[in-house]
Amino acid sequence: MLFARALIAFLLLPGVVAFLLPALFVWPIATRGFDLTGLAPFGAGVIVLLWCVRDFYAAGKGTLAPWDPPQRLVRVGLYRFSRNPMYVGVLLILVGWTIACRTRSLLIYTIAVAILFHLRVLWFEEPWLARTFPEDWVEYKSRVPRWIVGRRR
């Protein structure tokens, strides 16, 4: 049952943001071809995203969906290096789309998604984590940067 919930959450959330919406942006121009250099960030993002979804399922005993969150604070895998690697993975996918298709609309979409992710983390996710996992969160937050750069203590 948890696997089905995790799959549905994946299809509804990053599936729409990272795959469906960008595909709709480029559908009219798909006949012009793609710049294959976009495959590197796209592929890296897919790997990061799938790894994080797996860690939410295996280590967190939950899904990436806000309506079915992990039961434990996920601190394994890529979460040892970034508090938000799943968002980084989605952004890598979007950068890959943007490079491959070279469209201004995808660039604007990618920037907007990055800003929205950051605001979501600041205003909703981090306060929820602080309330839900108070002791674990304080230690984890002090040790792991929010994104992929930052001071590690």
Q: What is the pLDDT of residues 20-53, one digit of tens each?
A: 999 888 876 666 777 889 999 999 999 999 999 9
148 within some domain: no
> CA angle, corner 87, sides to 50 and 150, nearest 5?
120
Domain count, the chain: 1
74 within some domain: yes
57 has pLDDT over 90: no
- Which residues does 106 contact at the CB level (< 8 Å), separation at least 6? 22, 25, 26, 94, 97, 98
- Across all residues in the chain, what is the average pLDDT? 89
The pTM is what? 0.91
Exposure of 101 by Cβ count < 10 A (0-12 exposed, 13-18 middle, 19+ buried)?
Answer: buried
- Residue 89, H or E segment: helix 85-101
CB of 109 closer than 8 Å to CB of 22: yes
Tokens of 14: 């990053």
Structural domain boundaries, residue 57: 2-15+35-143
70 within some domain: yes
Residue 127: its pLDDT value, please? 97
Rounded-to-integer distance, Cα 78 and Cα 114, Å: 19
Report DSSP state, residue 143: H
Residue 59: its pLDDT value, please? 92
Indicate the pLDDT class of residue 144, thresholds 50, 70 and 90.
very high
Helix/strand number for the chain, H first, E second: 8, 0
